[in-house]
Amino acid sequence: MPDIHKPDQILPYLAAAIDLGSNSFHVTLIDMRPTLSGEPYVVLSRAGEKIQLAAGLDEANVLSQEAIERGLNWLRRLVPKLAQVAPEHCHVMATNTLRVAQNASAFINPASAILGVQVKVVTGEEEAELIFRGVIGELAYGRYKNADKLVIDIGGGSTELIQGCKSPQIVNSYPMGCVAFSRKYFPNRKITAKAMQQAVEAAQDIIASKLEIYQQQGWQVCIGSSGTVKALACLSGLKEDGTYYLNQASMANIERQLLAFDNLDEVKIDGLRPDRGEVLPAGYAILKGIMQSLQLDRIYFSTGALREGALLRSLRGA
């Protein structure tokens, strides 16, 4: 691998976490020196871009060269931002699309060479555990730190459901995500009430076999992370103590707005990031299916997720 991390430029207190997701690629850069108020690190920057790697999978789960190049080009642009980060402090994780792609090495090998750091493909269970760790870290100083939590993360290719208090007790990763559902349940990019309901029911069917274990365990608060939950929570306009949240009424209002559009490319709503619109109907349907199945009325949004979990794991050496 090329040495993009030049020793004379390295700042030993910097660390980076890179999430090569099925819909978007993201990087978080931090200063690892703890703050006076006790936080374990300070976020210096966050950046991301919609890559839609999952959209490059064909029916045989072979990743197209076009999708591979979209991802590699983003990494090439990222390299200068990592020059001061020691390779041992640069954590690069790939998720569902590169778990299932038959030719995953066609992306992983050049990506590792570009970054000078080996890309790690995390299992669905490890992804879920890191998401939970990231959410817990973000809530460490809030009122829900000692509450039993149900955490929901909807990605481009998979959805994770994790229940626990300070550590995960129930961990599941399901093969449904906003990119995959967009392709399957909104063919020709058409938005209809029938397509939406089919996607909702599909999400319910996928999680049905493990519903009982969550219901038996119970939880006191439900927290969502990821771009889908963030977009929906922000569109809800509801806040409690500065934290966005969703409820059944706000979800119904969002559904009416989504069904007013005929095509995924037309989804543009005030407060919605432009590149989120085309996958939001599918992400909405997955979340609605989960909410109905688990009889959830309120979901709070957390900024903590996979990248934050990986950084906290590294800092704490576990």
List the chain domain ranges.
14-121, 125-306
Tell me which CATH homologous superfamily contains domain 125-306. Exopolyphosphatase. Domain 2 (3.30.420.150)
Would you state the structure tokens that stand for residue 112, as one six-digit string?
Answer: 């590792």
pTM given for the model: 0.91
Kindly state the DSSP code that residue 64 receives in the 8-state scheme.
P
- CA dist 65 and 72 (Å) reads 10
Domains 14-121 and 125-306 share a fold: yes
pLDDT, position 1: 60
Tell me which CATH homologous superfamily contains domain 14-121. ATPase, nucleotide binding domain (3.30.420.40)
Which residue carries 């992804």 as its tokens? 127
Contacts of 171 (CB under 8 A, 6+ apart): 125, 128, 129, 132, 160, 162
Helix-strand-coil split of the chain, %, nearest 5: 45, 20, 30
The DSSP annotation for 254-300 comes to HHHHHHT-SBGGG---TTS-GGGGGGHHHHHHHHHHHHHHHT--EEE
> What are the per-10-residue average pLDDT scores of the chain (318 residues)?
73 96 96 84 93 95 98 97 95 96 98 97 95 84 82 95 93 94 95 98 95 85 93 94 93 97 95 91 98 95 93 82
